[in-house]
Structure 1
Amino acid sequence: MKSLYTGLLALSLFSASATAAHYVIDDDEKGAHAAVNFKIKHLGYSWLTGRFNRFEGHFNYEPGKLEDSSVKVTIDTTSVDSNHARRDKHLRGDDFLSVDKFPKATFISNRIETINEEEFKIHGKLTLHGVTKDVVIDATKIGEGKDPWGGYRAGFTGTTELALKDFGIDYNLGPASTHVQLELHVEGIRQD
């Protein structure tokens, strides 16, 4: 029964992308070529920046057929890293990410909107802090081609902005710090 459920789930996620090539995001600890970064204003005077060190995902992509593409990414929220240990402990706590309750965040696309051959919008559902909301990622294709090890890669970058209160995070950081910007840099390895 479990294998049937898993098969149906996979079919539902990728039925729209049956003709697209499948890529796994290059998040190998020996030399990752992907990043999930964030930044938020600090008191309106500067930017606080950080990243999530651990995540995984995959996407389906076919040049010229972006409507057949899809993406799924899972982020380990316990890996939040703002380059400051005490602040990271606070970010992991109940005021922000509540990682004991919500150790993962997930994005699953449901539609790709083509702007041109290099730019597009990825519409999907982001689940963060136990809340699922529609988000749109403004994405750009960086490039694709063969790598030196006999594989084939494709790379993209994307940005989106989230209102913290939309995801149940209401810690008062001041009026200049209500939204966080996400920057995604993704390099995928085609699975033949």
Structure 2
Amino acid sequence: MKKTLLGLVLGSVALASLPAMADKYVIDTKGAHASINFEIQHLGYSWLTGRFNEFSGEFNYDPKDVAASKINVTINTNSVDSNHAERDKHLRSDDFLNVAKFPTATFVSTKIVQDDGEEFDIIGDLTLNGVTKSVTIEVDKIGEGKDPWGGYRVGFEGETEIRLKDFNIKQDLGPASQSVKLKLHVEGIKQ
């Protein structure tokens, strides 16, 4: 009996000393509770906006240890949508996204740094148009909690800016249009 009790106590201590595991979430694209949007200046006179309609991803998130969190996302580049069919055809060409050769773009986090409270930076590798570069996404946590269907969700918004030439996008859109802003809204469902 003493050996059993001792074993239980030691086992409990060993389990308590293990680091907490980050919860796994799937990005809710089926319910349209996530979006990948972009905006770029048009000739320096206005903003052209659009989005990618098809993407998927998952992330691990531990609010007590944000640095242990991870995210990966895959984007169908053919799903680019700027609300203009001819422009979208041009965006899919080798002048821009070259979707025939590179039908997907990916983002895989390599490091997460907590800034202040529920703000943090996600550093990761963005692969777009056959080029992989490290980018930093500035993220704000929107909230988390139970949903009406018995699940648990957490949501974030993020923003980054990338230079077109860094990703081998050859089309020169003029001096005001050398970079594109990416605006991300992510809601994950706990698995």
Q: Give how far 1:60 is off.
A: 0.4
Amino acid at match of 2:174: G
Amino acid at match of 1:72: N
Q: Give secondary structure in 2 for the equivalent of 1:91.
A: helix
1: CA distance, partners of 2:101 / 2:20: 35
Question: 1:11 is matched with which residue?
Answer: none
Structure 1 stretch displaced more, 131-140 or 18-27: 18-27
Question: 1:19 is matched with which residue?
Answer: 21
Q: Give secondary structure in 2 for the equivalent of 1:141.
A: strand
Amino acid at match of 1:84: H
Q: Deviations over 1:112-132 (max 9, x none)?
A: 011022100000000000000
Question: 2:106 is matched with which residue?
Answer: 106
- Identity percentage over the alignment? 65
Taking structure 1 as the reference length, the TM-score comes to 0.89
Amino acid at match of 2:155: G
Question: 2:137 is matched with which residue?
Answer: 137
Q: Contact between 1:64 and 1:117, CA under 8 Å: does it hold in 2?
A: no
2: CA distance, partners of 1:65 / 1:92: 39
Amino acid at match of 2:136: V
Question: 1:163 is matched with which residue?
Answer: 163
Amino acid at match of 1:179: S
1:95 to 2:100 alignment: no
Relative to structure 1, is the Cα distance of residues 88 and 42 closer, same or farther in structure 2, using a 3 angstrom cutoff? same
2: CA distance, partners of 1:134 / 1:58: 19
Question: 1:5 is matched with which residue?
Answer: none
Question: 2:152 is matched with which residue?
Answer: 152
1: CA distance, partners of 2:64 / 2:143: 13
After superposition, residues 1-192 of structure 1 pair within 5 angstroms as 19-28=21-30, 31-191=31-191
Q: Give secondary structure in 2 for the equivalent of 1:169.
A: coil
Question: 1:12 is matched with which residue?
Answer: none
CA RMSD of aligned residues (A): 1.0
1: CA distance, partners of 2:82 / 2:106: 20
- Which of these two proteins has the greater Rg computed from alpha carbons? 2
Amino acid at match of 1:157: E
Q: Give how far 1:64 is off.
A: 2.0
Aligned residue pair count: 173
1: CA distance, partners of 2:59 / 2:106: 13
Structure 2: 5+ residue stretches without partners? 1-18
Q: Contact between 1:80 and 1:92, CA under 8 Å: does it hold in 2?
A: yes
Q: Give how far 1:172 is off.
A: 1.1
Amino acid at match of 1:132: T
Taking structure 2 as the reference length, the TM-score comes to 0.89
Q: Deviations over 1:48-70 (max 9, x none)?
A: 00000000000000112101100
1: CA distance, partners of 2:110 / 2:23: 17
Q: Contact between 1:40 and 1:179, CA under 8 Å: does it hold in 2?
A: yes
